[in-house]
Structure 1
C-alpha cells in the first residue's frame, strides 16, 4: 500500500473517548498509522473493482450474469463511501476494546472446515472456504511478523492476546470487511470477487502493516529482543504498477523510392503556396539557406512556447516561424531562409492542420489541444518523409487514434486528460528521436482498445435491452388487441373489466414473453379469460347458469394460479374475488355494476404522434442512409451539442437508438423525428474516417484547384 501523503485524514468521530483514553499513546499511533494504510488499500480496491467487475461482465456467458455484474458496479459506486466509513469504524472499535478492562468476547471469524455446518447454505459455505483460504495464506506468508505484533500488544496491554484478537490480524480485518459489505445488495459471485480484491489490495501488504506497527512499538522499547522481520518486496504489486514494456516498432527505416515519388508529387502541387515562409527583411539582405538540422533546432525552441489550449490566440505555425527566422536573420546579418523541400513540408503541415482545426468531426474542446501537435508533427515530417506516404507511420497513426477517440467526447470527458498527457509528453520530450511516437502509440492504442472493448460490451447490453423492450411493447400491444376483441361492445360487470385490463393482461403478457403464443401457458391464459367472461355473462335461470357452481372451483383455481405466476400479491386481489363471488351468486345490483365497453384498452403510455413524410423526402432519405456505427451531432436548445453514435435500429418500431462514447443510451428518435432534425439543421452526420487521410485528400484537392487557377 502506498503512503504518499494523499491519504484522507481519519475522522476523529470514529473514536470512542472513554476506552481510547486508556490506550497508551504508542498504540494510538499504531492505530492511526494502520488506519491510513488500510484506507489507502481500500481506495485501491474500489478503484480497481470497477475494472474487475467489467471484465467479469465481458466474460459472462449469458445476459443474466452480465446484468448481475453491471448492477454490482452501480451498487459499489453508490455505497463506496459508506463501505469505507463502516470498515474504519469497526477498526477503531476493535482498538477501543483493547483498552477496556474485562473485554468481552471478540467477534472473530470462525475457524472452519470444508464440511458445511448443519443448516449452512451453499453460499455461506463458499464464502467460508474462501475466507479460510485467505487467512491461511496470510498466516503462512506473514505469520512471524503478525505473531511479533500480537506479542508486543499483549506485553503493552498486560493481557494475553490471540492473533485472532489482534485488530490488525487478518481474521478481524476480514470481519470488518464483511460487516461493511452487508449493505451491498450483490450476489455471492460478486462477494467472492470482492474478497479476492480485498486480499489483493489490502491483505497482500500485511507485511508492511505489521512491519510499521512493530517498528513503532519497538521504538518505545516494547519487546526489543524480538528480531525484526524484513519487509518483502511484492513482485505482484511491482508487476501491476510497472508493467513490462512491449517491443516498439522502429521508425528509422530508410525512405524507399515509392516514398520519394509520393513526396515529389506533393511538392509539385505545393509550388502554388511557396514563398509564404520567409524572414521580414530588406530585399538587399543576403539570403542564406538554413539547414534542416538547424531548422529542427529552431522548431525545438519554438516547441517549448506552444500556448496552452485555453489561450485565446490561435497558434499560426508559419507566422511564428517567420518571426523566429527574422530574429535569427537580424542577429546574423543574413536573410536566413528555409530550403525548398523544407518549406514544402512546413506548408503541407500547416494546410493539414488548417483542415483538422475546421473539421466538424473533431469536437471544439479538442481542436486547440490537437493543434498543439503541429510542431511535433512538422519535426517528424522533416525527419521522415514516409510520414506523408505511409498510413502505418507511428506519428500519423497516433494522430488518427487521438481523433478517433475524441469524436464522441466533451472537454469534461476523462479521455481529454489522457490526450492532454500525450500531447504534453510530445512537447516536453520529443527532440529528434521519433521513437517516442511509437511508444506513445503503443500506450494510447492499448488504452483506446480497452475503452472500445468496454463501450462495445455496453453497447451490446444496450441493444439487448432495447430489443427486449421492443419485444415487450409488441407483446403488450398483442395482449391489448386480444382484450379489445373480446371486450369491445359487450356489457359486463365493471370489476371484471377492470380485472382483465389491469391484472389478467399482465398474466397474458408474461406468458407471451416467457413461453410464446404457441405455448400451453398462453392458451391456458386465454381459456381462463374466456371462461371468466362467460361465467359473468350467464343468466342464472338458464341451464348453463344453474350448473355454474360445478365449474367455479376450476375457474377460481386457474385465476389464482395465473396471478401467482405473475407474482401478484394475493391480498391485493382479495377484493376482486369477493366481488366475483357476489356476481356469481346474484345478478349485479344497480346499473352502475354493468358497463358497456366502448373504449379500447390501450397498454401503457401512448407514444408521440407519428410524423408523416413522403417516401421521396430528401431528409428522410438521409435518415435511411444512416448506418449503425455512424456518429452524429444534435444541436440542442439551450444545451451543449450532443455527440452520439447510432447503435441500433429497432424494427418494427423503426426506433433509432443512440449511445454515448461509453455505450450508454442517450437518445431515441423515430425516422420522422430525425428527418425533421435534418430539415432544421439540428442534426449533422460526422465523418468517422481516419483524420489524417481525410485531411490529406482535402489539401491535395485544394492545391490542385490553386494550380489550375494559375
Structure 2
C-alpha cells in the first residue's frame, strides 16, 4: 500500500547536495514487527512456493526413462521403474499434502523450540535398516549440494532467524527451510514408497532441480521480509555479523570520498550545461493562476517525487522499453510518467515542477540506462527487464547519491551482475535460459518489494552473483578450449609453412621425374607436417624426414645419369623410410606398394622426361571463415594502422576488456582471453566465453583506426556506462 507524502517526508529535509544515504538505514535500529506475525508470513511464503515441488517430479523422470529406453533400443523400457513411477503419480495428492505439512511443521517446531542441536540439519538421526542407508546417504548429499549452492543466502537467513528467535525469547533454533530440513522433508514424504534402486537417484536429482527453480526466489523474499521487519543480522549477536560487515569495506585502492564527490560535482555541472542547451529538457517555470496572474511553479519535495515513483513502480514498463529501443529519450519518458503519476496523487503538473536535484537524478538514470544499452550487446528480451528496473533506480538516485559515488553500492553491484547475465545471452543453452529466468525473477522482486531499503539490492546481487559464479567456471572452460583450438590451428599453419619451405628447397634443386615430384608434393610434405606437429623442429625424426627428401632428389639425379646399380641400392636402403612416409599419410599396405613400384619403375628409365616442378600455392590462413576482412595475405601490407597504436596493442594482457563493433553495428564486450606464443595474436571472447575475434596487434590497431574497436574500457558495466555518459556530456557541452 502506498504511503502518503507526509509519511515518507523526513522531518528535516536534507539539502540537495547532501541527501540522506540509503546506507544509514540500519536494520538493527529499525522498529521490529511482531515476531509471531513475521514467522507466520514467512511460513505462508514457504508453504506456497515449496508445496508444489513434489507434483513436478514425475513428468521429467518419465521423459528421461523414455529417452533412455529409446537410446538402448528397448521398446518397453525399464518396466519396474515405469510401474513404480505410476504408483507415485497415483499417490501424488497424499505426497503433496504430507510434504506441505512437513514444511509447515518446521516453522511450528521453530516456534516451539524442540530440544535438538541447531545444526541438526533436519535429517533424522535414528537407527535405520540396511536397505535405507543408501536413501539417507543420498539425502545427506542432497543437503550438502543445496547448502553449497545457496550458502550466502542461507548464511544471511540463519542470522536473521537468530534475531527472530531472540525476539521470541528463546535460544536459536534450526532453520525450518534449511538445506538439511528440505532433504529430510523429502525423505519423510516418500518414506513408505517402494522405489527401485534405479529410480531413487533419478527422484533425488529431479527434486534438487525442482528446488533450484524456487529456492533462490524464496530465500530472497524471506530475507527481504525479515530485513524489512527489522530483523537484521547486525542485531542477532551472531559471530557471522562482523564477516558480513567486512565485505562492504571499500577497496583500499579506490579513490577517496572527496575525489569522488569532486568528480560527481563536475559531472553534474556538465549535466546542467547539457540540459540548458537541450531544448527538449527545458521546462516552463511559471503558470497562470485562475485570475490570470503569472505564478511560479512549486518545486516538488524529494519525498513527493519518491512517493510518485513508488506509485508507478509496478505499472507496465512499456514507455521505458520503447525509449530504450530508441524511440525518444528515456529521461523524457520518466518525466512524462512522473508527471502523470503526480496528477494521480493530486499534485497538478501545471503548478509543480521537479527541483534541480530531482531533475539531475532523473537525467542521470535515463542517460545511464541508455549508455548501458549503447555499450553492451543487449538483446530484445533484456530490454523489458531493464525497463522494469528504471523506476526503482530513479527512487534510489533521488535519495542516495552513493549510487554514482560508491563502486560497492548495492544497487550498482546488482546492475553489474544483471548486465553480465544478460549481455549477449540469447538463451541458447539451458544454463543461459536459467540465467535469464532467474534474472527476470530478481528484477520482478525488486519491483514488487523495494521500499527505500537497499538490502534487497544486496541480497539480489549476491544471489545472482552466486549463479554467475557457476557460469564463470563454464566460461573459463570455454575460453580454454577456444585458446587450445586457435593454438592448434596456428601450430598446424606454422608446420605447413615450414614444410612448404622445405619442399620448395628440394623442388628447386634440379628437374625431377613426375613420380618423384608427385611423391614429394602429395606425401612427403604431409609426412613432414605430421612430424613437425608430433616431434617438433630439429628432432631426430624431423631430420630423418628431411634426409628422405634429399635422398630421393639425389637418386632421381643418379637415375638420369643411367647409374642403375647405384639407384637400386639406394632405393633398397630407402624402402622402409618410403613405406613409413606413405603409412603416415593414411595409405594401406597395398597402396603403399603401388607407390613404391611406381617410383622404382620411373627411376629405372634414364630417358624419362624430367622437369622443374611448380610449387603448390601456400596455405596462408588456418580457417577460411576465421577472420573475414581481417585476413591479409603477405603480412600487414594491406592494413592502415598507426605503428605506435599497434605497439600499445601488443601490451594487452589476458583479462583486459575491449569493445568491438560487430557487423550489425552493435557494441560487443570482448575480453583478451589468450595471447599466442607463436604469432602474438590475441584471442578475444565475449562474456559467454565464445570466440569473437583472433587478431594481431596490427589488425587491432587497424580496427581502432576504423572506429570499430574501443580500447581501455572498464570491466564493470556500470563503470563503463558512466564513462560513456561523461564522454557524451563532454561532447555535447563542447558543441554547445
Q: Structure 2 length normalisation: TM-score?
A: 0.57
Q: Which moved more, 1:563-572 or 1:519-528?
A: 563-572
Instruction: Measure, in 2, the Cα distance between the counterparts of 1:595 and 1:385.
Output: 85
1:401 aligns with 2:427: no
Q: Which residue is equivalent to 2:131? A: 140
Cα distance in structure 2, aligned partners of 1:254 and 1:682: 38
What is the CA distance between 1:304 and its match in structure 2? Answer: 1.1
The equivalent residue for 1:360 is 375
CA distance in 2, matches of 1:449, 1:604: 41
Query: 1:266 Cα shift?
Result: 7.1
1:438 aligns with 2:458: yes
Contact 1:483 1:601 in 2 (8 A): no
Match of 1:427 in 2: 447
Q: Distance in 2 between matches of 1:701 and 1:391?
A: 19
The answer as to whether partners of 1:290 and 1:336 remain within 8 angstroms in 2 is yes
Q: Where does residue 312 of structure 2 map in the other structure?
A: 302
Task: Report the Cα distance in structure 2 between the residues aligned to 1:556 and 1:334, rounded to whole angstroms.
Answer: 100
Q: Do the aligned residues in 2 keep the contact of 1:491 with 1:595 (CA within 8 Å)?
A: yes
C-alpha RMSD of matched pairs (Å):
5.5
Distance in 2 separating the partners of 1:97 and 1:404? 42
Cα distance between partner residues in 1 of 2:575 and 2:411: 75
The 10-residue stretch of structure 1 (485-494 or 391-400) with the greater mean CA deviation from structure 2:
485-494
Equivalent residue number for residue 320 of structure 1:
337
Query: d(CA) in 2 for partners of 1:470 and 1:5?
Result: 53
Alignment partner of 1:663 is 2:686: no
- Stretch deviating more after TM superposition (573-582 or 615-624): 615-624
In the superposition, relative to structure 1, how do residues 496 and 372 fare at CA in structure 2: closer, same or farther (>3 Å)? Answer: same
**How far 1:596 moved relative to its partner?**
1.2
Deviation at 1:303, TM superposition (A): 0.7
Whether 1:39 aligns to 2:39 is: no
Partner Cα distance (1:556, 1:206) in 2: 76
After TM superposition, give the deviation of residue 344 of structure 1 in Å: 4.8
Give the C-alpha shift of residue 520 in structure 1. 1.8
Q: Residue 451 of structure 2: SS of its match in structure 1?
A: coil
Tell whether 2:193 aligns with 1:211: yes
Matches within 5 A, 1:170-249: 211=193, 241=212, 242=215
On the 8 A contact 2:376/2:669 being kept in 1, the answer is no
Contact 1:404 1:688 survives alignment (8 Å):
no
Task: Specify the alignment match of 2:122 in structure 1.
Answer: none
CA gap 1:271/1:92 in 2 versus in 1, 3 angstroms: closer
Contact 1:430–1:436 (8 Å) recurs in 2: yes
- Helix, strand or coil at the partner of 1:89: coil
Q: CA–CA distance in 2 between the matches of 1:708 and 1:475?
A: 54
Structure 1 residue ranges without an equivalent (≥5): 8-32, 43-80, 99-136, 145-200, 215-229
In structure 2, which of residues 607, 610, 614 is the aligned counterpart of residue 595 of structure 1?
A: 610
Distance in 1 of aligned mates of 2:202 and 2:485: 49
Cross-structure match for 1:576: 595
Q: Spell out, residue by residue over 1:633-679, the C-alpha distance to the aligned partner (whole angstroms, 9 max, x if none).
A: 34437x98876545445476565544343323344456676666566
**Structure 1 partner of 2:493:** 473
- Secondary structure of the residue that 2:614 maps to in structure 1? coil
Q: Distance in 1 between matches of 2:260 and 2:498?
A: 67
Give the SS at the match of 2:474: helix
State the Cα distance separating 1:87 from its structure 2 match: 4.9
Secondary structure, aligned partner of 1:633: strand
Partner of residue 498, structure 1: 518
Equivalence for 1:455: 475
Matched residues in 1 for 2:613 and 2:501: separation? Answer: 14
What is the SS of the residue equivalent to 2:660? strand
CA distance in 1, matches of 2:339, 2:447: 20
Aligned residue for 1:636? 663
Match of 2:166 in 1: none
TM-aligned CA deviation for residue 348 of structure 1:
4.1
| CA distance in 1: counterparts of 2:572 and 2:720, whole angstroms | 75
Alpha-carbon contact 1:279-1:326 (below 8 Å) kept: no
> Partner residue of 2:70?
85
Structure 1 CA distance for aligned equivalents of residues 632 and 353 of structure 2: 68
Aligned counterparts of 1:587 and 1:252: Cα–Cα separation in 2: 86
Please give the alpha-carbon distance, in whole angstroms, between the structure 2 residues aligned to 1:640 and 1:684. Answer: 13
CA contact (8 A) 1:277 1:321 kept: no
**Equivalent position to 2:407, from 384, 391, 406:** 391
Is the Cα–Cα contact under 8 Å of residues 309 and 395 in structure 2 kept in the other structure? yes
Q: TM-score, normalised by structure 1?
A: 0.59
- Residues 290 and 640 (structure 1), Cα distance of their counterparts in 2 relative to 1, 3 Å cut: closer
Structure 2 CA distance for partners of 1:571 and 1:622, relative to 1, 3 Å: farther
Cα displacement string for residues 396-436 of structure 1 (whole angstroms, at most 9, x for unaligned residues): 12223333555555687745555433322221222232211
Partner of 2:93 in structure 1? none
1:375 to 391, 397, 400: 391
Matched, 1:561 2:580: yes
Alignment CA distance shift 1:326-1:703 (3 Å): farther
Which structure 2 residue ranges, 5 or more long, are not aligned?
1-51, 84-127, 136-182, 224-239, 251-255, 623-630
Higher relative contact order (CA 8 A, sep 6+): 2
Q: 1:598 to 1:410 in 2, by over 3 A?
A: same
Partner of 2:43: none
- SS of 2:485 mapped into structure 1: helix
Matched pairs, number: 526
Report the Cα distance in structure 2 between the residues aligned to 1:539 and 1:288, rounded to whole angstroms: 107
Say whether residues 1:610 and 2:633 are aligned partners.
Answer: yes
Aligned to 1:690: 716
Structure 2 counterpart of 1:47: none
- State the match for 1:63 in structure 2: none
Q: 1:555 to 1:651 in 2, by over 3 A?
A: same
Aligned residue for 1:538, secondary structure, equals helix
